[in-house]
C-alpha cells in the first residue's frame, strides 16, 4: 500500500531541483520541491504532484524528476508540514501522523500550491495534477473545486476510509461538480479502495457526462506504480503502461509535444474501455 520508498532499480533523471516555500491561506509557508527541465525552465507547463500518506519521499522526488525530464515543471508539496517529519518510514508511523492531519485543511493548502503555480511564468491556463492514494483522493476533490486542472488519479478513494479522523469530501459525492479531463487508475485487487467503490465512481462520472477515462488493471492491488516503474523490464505492465498514459494525458491537455508515434492517452484508454464492455 502506498509508496514508502523508491523502488530498487529506478533511476532519477538529471534535471533542475529547487527547494521552495508556498504561502498558504493561513499565512504559513509550506515547503515543496520544484523540479524543472533545464531547457524549458522558463516556459514548462506545471504539474502538482500530490503524495500519499508518507508525504514527500524519494519516490515522489523521482516522479517529479521524471515529469521534468518529460517537459513539465513539477511541484511536490509537503502537506504534512504542520505535523513534522516521520520518526521512521513505516506504515504505523505514517498512519499515526495522519490521524493529526486535517485533510480538508490540506485541500486548502493544495489549492494554495495551485495558486502559486498559476503565478509562475509557464502558466498557460491549465495545470496538471497527479495524485496517489490519499493524494489521488485530493486530486479528485480539487477537480470539483478548481476550473483549470488536468487530473491524473492513481488509486484515489471515491469514498474515503471511515476510520479517518478528519476526512476530505468524498469524490463520489462530487461527481456532478467535477470539471476538466480526468484519467484514473485502480488495481482490481485493491482492497483498500474497494473495487465496488471504483466502479460506482466510474458509473457516476459516465452518468454525469464528464470528460473521464480510466483503467482498472487485473492482478494488481494498491500502490502498483511502485512495483514496476523503472525496473528495467522490457515488458509493459500496469506500472509502465499507466505512467505512459498519464504522461500522454498531461501532454495532450497541457500542450507538451509527445514523442513521435506515441498514442493519445485519452483515445487509447477509451478504446480499451469500449473493447472491454
Q: Which domain holds residue 225?
A: 16-276
| Per-residue pLDDT, 1 | 45
How do 127-132 and 46-50 pair as beta strands?
Answer: parallel
Indicate whether 5 belongs to any domain. Answer: no
What pTM was computed for the model? 0.90
Indicate whether 175 belongs to any domain. Answer: yes
Summarised one tens digit per residue, pLDDT across range 100-143 is 999 999 999 999 999 999 999 878 899 999 999 999 999 999 99
59 CB contacts (<8 Å, ≥6 apart)? 3, 4, 5, 6, 7, 51, 226
CATH number at residue 241: 3.40.50.1820
Summarised one tens digit per residue, pLDDT across range 43-53 is 789 999 999 99
CA dihedral 168, 252, 260, 44 (to 10 degrees): -80
User: Could you give the number of structural domains in the chain?
Assistant: 1
Indicate whether 64 belongs to any domain. Answer: yes
How do 127-132 and 149-154 pair as beta strands?
Answer: parallel
Number of other residues whose CB lies within 10 A of the CB of residue 94: 20
Spans in the chain with pLDDT lower than 50:
1, 4-10, 264-267, 270-277
199 φ, ψ (degrees, to nearest 5): -65, -35
Amino acid at each position: 500500500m502506498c509508496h514508502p520508498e523508491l523502488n530498487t532499480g529506478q533511476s532519477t533523471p538529471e534535471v533542475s531541483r529547487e527547494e521552495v516555500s508556498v504561502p498558504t491561506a493561513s499565512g504559513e509557508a509550506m515547503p515543496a520541491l520544484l523540479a524543472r527541465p533545464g531547457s524549458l525552465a522558463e516556459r514548462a507547463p506545471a504539474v502538482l504532484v500530490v503524495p500519499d500518506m508518507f508525504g514527500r519521499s524519494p519516490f515522489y522526488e523521482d516522479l517529479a524528476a521524471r515529469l521534468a525530464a518529460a517537459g513539465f515543471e513539477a511541484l511536490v508539496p509537503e502537506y504534512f508540514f504542520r505535523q513534522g517529519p516521520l520518526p521512521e518510514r513505516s506504515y504505523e508511523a505514517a498512519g499515526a501522523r495522519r490521524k493529526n492531519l486535517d485533510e480538508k485543511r490540506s485541500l486548502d493548502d493544495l489549492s494554495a500550491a495551485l495558486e502559486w503555480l498559476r503565478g509562475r511564468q509557464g502558466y498557460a491556463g491549465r495545470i496538471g495534477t497527479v495524485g496517489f492514494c490519499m493524494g489521488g483522493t485530493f486530486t479528485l476533490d480539487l477537480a470539483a473545486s478548481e476550473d483549470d486542472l488536468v487530473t491524473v488519479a492513481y488509486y484515489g478513494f471515491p469514498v474515503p476510509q471511515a476510520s479517518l479522523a478528519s476526512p476530505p469530501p468524498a469524490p463520489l459525492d462530487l461527481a456532478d461538480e467535477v470539471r476538466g479531463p480526468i484519467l484514473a487508475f485502480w488495481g482490481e485487487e485493491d482492497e483498500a479502495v474497494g473495487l465496488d467503490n471504483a466502479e460506482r465512481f466510474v458509473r457516476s462520472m459516465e452518468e454525469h457526462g464528464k470528460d473521464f477515462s480510466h483503467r482498472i488493471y487485473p492482478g494488481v492491488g494498491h500502490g502498483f506504480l511502485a512495483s514496476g516503474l523503472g525496473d528495467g523490464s522490457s515488458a509493459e505492465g500496469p506500472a509502465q503502461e499507466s505512467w505512459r498514459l498519464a504522461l500522454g494525458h498531461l501532454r495532450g491537455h497541457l500542450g507538451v509535444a509527445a514523442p513521435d508515434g506515441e498514442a493519445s492517452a485519452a483515445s487509447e484508454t477509451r478504446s480499451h474501455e469500449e473493447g472491454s464492455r
